[in-house]
Amino acid sequence: MHTTVRQDGPWPLPDGLGQAIRGTAEEIATLVRSASDTALAVPGSEWTVGEAAAHLAMANELMADLAAGRERPYGDGTPQSLAAANAESLAVFGERRAEPLATMLMEQAEAFLDALSRPAADATAPTTPLGLMTRPVLASYLLTHMLGHGYDLARALKRPHMIDPVRVGLCMPFMLSVMPRVANPAATAGLTAHYRIRLRGGGAFNVSLVDGAVQVTPEAPPGRADCTILLDPVAFLLIALGRLNPWRAIAQGQVLAWGPRPWLAPRFPALFTAP
């Protein structure tokens, strides 16, 4: 499904986002090609390196199709439906060899960027597995998705990961847009609180909850935040994607909190389900 939207001009990508998508795809492809055995397990996952790379290649193709205006239903946005869609697609797509997967994920990232460069594609906003998004947010989504699985592959292959503060900043349009959608109703129920989230050396945003309803804004609402949380940007993304235990980040000094209700800080990650 695609919804026509009014606009006065094209939707340009934020500075550096296209380069980050291309560079991340290239770095992940290099990682995949370095794998001597794609049957190696990915830590903290049920997937092997080959399965994770296959998922990335297919996901990049899905994103390229969405950017080009093609409908691609893929679950209903819930973690359960996305996991089921992932399992189904991996069962159908049997390629697990490093070279073909590395080539495919790079080619599909390039196809995505090519689709965004075409003026005809600017008239519609695609419905993604996580809801309706403008194309700049979709591009931020693609980068975020690649970084999460690229991190997994780097851990599996014992290589440096490619997440850095600049790339985290480029992930933020997607993260801010999707947070209300992935709020955990069981954790947010009845909660009224105002969080101010600051990324060390970067931007900030606000998360307000009123009786469990979640609103995310870049501007500070009137009044003082109940809890301000300062995080290392890489730690923020890894926690948000379910790759880093918040308590470990706190122990390593990557998270600080203050305000009238600082005890709200440890509760914050549990308010959301990793997309």
Give the pLDDT confidence of 33-45 residue by residue, as tens digits.
999 999 999 999 9
Predicted pLDDT of residue 8: 35
Token pair, residue 73, equals 């239903």
- Which whole number is the average pLDDT over 160-174? 97
Q: Single out the residue of 190, 257, 188, 196 nearest to residue 221, CA to CA.
A: 196
pLDDT at 66: 92
* Mode of pairing for the β-strands spanning 227-231 and 213-217: unpaired
Q: What are the structural domain ranges in the chain?
A: 13-166, 185-271
**Separation of alpha carbons 164 and 233, rounded Å:** 8
pLDDT for position 11: 57
Q: Which of 36-50, 78-92, 148-162, 260-274 has the lowest mean pLDDT?
A: 78-92
Q: What confidence tens digit (pLDDT) does each residue in 229-246 have? A: 999 999 999 999 999 999
pLDDT band at 224 (very low <50, low <70, confident <90, very high): confident
d(CA 205, CA 5): 26
When pLDDT is cut at 50, 70 and 90, the band that residue 207 belongs to is very high
As given in the structure block, the two tokens for residue 248 are 């470990």
- Which residue reads 């990650």 in tokens? 269
State the pLDDT confidence band at 5, using cuts at 50, 70 and 90.
very low
Q: Which residue has the higher pLDDT, 122 or 170?
A: 170
Vertex 38 angle, CA 32 and 39, to 5°: 155
The residues that bridge with 127 in the sheet, in sequence order, are 132
Question: CA 23, 25, 28 angle in degrees (round to 5)?
Answer: 110
3-state secondary structure of 52: helix
| CA trace torsion 147, 149, 155, 159 (10° rounding) | -50
| CA separation for the pair 194, 229 (Å, rounded) | 11
Confidence of residue 222 (pLDDT cuts 50, 70, 90): low
Instruction: Give the residue-averaged pLDDT of 137-153.
Output: 97
Beta strand extents in 18-111 (DSSP E only): none
For residue 69, the model assigns a pLDDT of 87
Between β-strands 193-199 and 227-231, what pairing exists: parallel, antiparallel or unpaired? Answer: parallel
State the DSSP string of 118-148.
-GGGGGEEEEETTEE--HHHHHHHHHHHHHH
User: φ and ψ at 49, to 5 degrees?
Assistant: -60, -45
CATH for 185-271, options being 3.40.50.150, 1.20.120.430, 3.30.1050.10, 3.40.50.300 = 3.30.1050.10
Distance CA 94, CA 11 (A): 36
Question: Is the pLDDT assigned to residue 7 strictly greater than 70?
Answer: no
Contact between residue 28 and residue 162 where contact means Cβ atoms under 8 Å apart: yes
Q: With 0-12 CB in 10 A as exposed, 13-18 as middle and 19+ as buried, what is 151?
A: buried
| CA pair distance 137, 170, nearest whole angstrom | 10
Spatial strand order of the sheet with 124-128 comes to: 2-4, 124-128, 131-132
pLDDT > 70: what percent of the chain?
A: 92
Predicted local distance difference test score (pLDDT) of residue 136: 92
- Of 56 and 68, more confident: 56
Structure tokens at 27: 């770095």
Is the pLDDT higher at 123 or at 94? Answer: 94
Q: By mean pLDDT, which of 8-17, 104-113, 211-220 is the weakest?
A: 8-17
Residue 133, pLDDT > 60, answer yes
pTM over 0.75: yes
The predicted structure's pLDDT at residue 75:
77
Q: pLDDT at position 87, please?
A: 93
How far apart CA 140 and CA 144 sit, in angstroms, is: 6
Residue the block writes with tokens 């101010």: 196
| CATH level 3 topology of 13-166 | Four Helix Bundle (Hemerythrin (Met), subunit A) (1.20.120)
